[in-house]
Amino acid sequence: MPERLISILGSGNLILSRVVCLTICLSVLTACSTISYYEQAVRGHLGLLFKSASIDRLIATHEVESRTRERLMLVREIRRFGVNQLSLPDNDSYTRYADLGRDYAVWAVFASEEFSVEPMTWCFPIAGCVPYRGYFSRHRAERFARDLKAGGLDVFSGGVPAYSTLGWGSDPVLNTVLMWPDDQLAGLIFHELAHQVVYVKNESAFNESFATFVEEVGVQQWLRDRGDTQALAAYQSRRAWRARVVKQIFNHRASLVRLYRSGLSADVMRKKKELLFAHFRERYRNERSVGQHPKIWDHWVLGKSNNARLNAITAYHQYIPAFQQLFEENGSNLNVFFEKVRALTEVTPTDRVRQLSRLRSLPLKGLD
């Protein structure tokens, strides 16, 4: 996510790409729907694996065209850096490549109540409860989204370029991300490998914030190691702008929470909700007009939004300030940082939030 989060859900393929971690086992709605969901998930994932081939072999045998081969060599370089310099897991992940012949790997559906900033969640045996449901079929995802919307929920859905099995499988690199700019491709690989370092069931905000922070540290270290000062400066500029936009998003979310707790009638809240989203878009336009800021967030912020769309962003940034401080307090040493984060996973969820809140002021604590 990074810009990947936006890339997921329809912003010109660069922001919601905070790659959704799709678990093959999904929540039980009814017996028939569960079997059907399992079937499409298993078939889709196995189909992806059957299409994959060893990156080393593809490079050695020149089985792919030259541009693809160059990008696969870059993937191999990025993965090696992640393992050797960032202490990320060294396993079969991102050692294979698959061309799916389509733009997205899966399609994700997010939902929230009309007057709540809290996401709906679906619970799976491996990943725990997560705030989305994924499909290998766009048609099935859109049908599920329509059903949720018909039930009065705020719904957001879109294509996801990649997903992670959290180390339970050998995740291949996909054609859907291979031609991304170098820093975004590196960020994707670092982000997904970070999920294999630390992952807590039922805590998407913790997991995604951690992986996003590791991604950002990793990309900057990688660009420095390459001596690409121009790319590093551009990345840091985009990161600073993203932090400003995310701050606006959290401020907007806090305003919505106050509204939803106000006790006003549904009709009045509905009108005030629209006004709050309109004011949010206007504030963004005003800040965006000052200086040379990238347009990557325009589609996301200026398009029609709702609680579900908002939640697709916030989970990836909620605890980044706390992780930043924890990292700095431990000498900016990733190995020590990883141990400190692992220690946080051993305490209760309440104590974990309390400790993170002490590290740095967090805009999201107890919003709903």
Residues 366 and 15: their CA atoms lie apart, in Å, by 26
3-state SS class at 210: helix
Averaged pLDDT, 113-142:
89
Instruction: Give the tokens for residue 227.
Output: 């001596």
Residues 359 and 330: their CA atoms lie apart, in Å, by 12
Residue 198: the pLDDT is 96
| Alpha carbon distance, N-terminus to C-terminus of the chain | 24
With cut-offs at 50, 70 and 90, classify the pLDDT of residue 28: very low
Residue 300: the pLDDT is 83
Higher-pLDDT residue of 46, 232: 232
With cut-offs at 50, 70 and 90, classify the pLDDT of residue 164: confident
Residue 366: the pLDDT is 36
> Does pLDDT of 9 surpass 80?
no
> Does pLDDT of 256 surpass 80?
yes
> Does pLDDT of 89 surpass 80?
yes
* Residue listed under structure tokens 């065209």: 65
With cut-offs at 50, 70 and 90, classify the pLDDT of residue 34: low
Residues 155 and 170: their CA atoms lie apart, in Å, by 31
Nearest to 341 by CA among 210, 213, 215: 210
Residues 53 and 188: their CA atoms lie apart, in Å, by 20
Residue 80: the pLDDT is 98
pLDDT tens sequence across 348-357: 999 999 999 8
> Does pLDDT of 10 surpass 80?
no
Torsion sign (Cα): 48, 50, 54, 59 = negative
Beta-carbon count within 10 A of 347 CB: 12
Residue 304: the pLDDT is 81
Residue 32: is it exposed, middle or buried by C-beta count within 10 angstroms (0-12/13-18/19+)? Answer: exposed
Higher-pLDDT residue of 139, 294: 139
Average pLDDT, the chain: 87
Strand partners, 122: 130
pLDDT tens sequence across 288-300: 888 778 888 888 8
User: Which region among 5-14, 36-45, 124-133, 239-248 has the lowest average model confidence (pLDDT)?
Assistant: 5-14
Q: What is the DSSP string of 28-67?
A: -SSHHHHHHHHHHHHHHHHHHHHTEEEHHHHHHHT-S-HH
Alpha-carbon distances, residue 167 vs 54, 171, 194, 218, 350 (angstroms): 17, 8, 10, 19, 27
3-state SS class at 130: strand
With cut-offs at 50, 70 and 90, classify the pLDDT of residue 329: very high
Global pTM value: 0.88
3-state SS class at 331: coil
CB 38 within 8 A of CB 49: no
CA 12 from centre of chain: 16
Instruction: Give the tokens for residue 342.
Output: 């692992």
Residue 223: the pLDDT is 98
Percent of the chain past pLDDT 90, that is, above it, reads: 69
> Does pLDDT of 45 surpass 80?
yes
- Show Cβ contacts of residue 272 under 8 Å, excluding neighbours closer than 6 positions: 259, 264
Residue 88: the pLDDT is 97
Residues 285 and 163: their CA atoms lie apart, in Å, by 32
> Does pLDDT of 186 surpass 60?
yes
- Show Cβ contacts of residue 65 under 8 Å, excluding neighbours closer than 6 positions: none
Cβ density class 163-187: b for 16+ within 10 Å, e for less: bbbbbeeebbbbbbbbebebbbbbb
Averaged pLDDT, 187-210:
94
* Residue listed under structure tokens 């994924």: 134
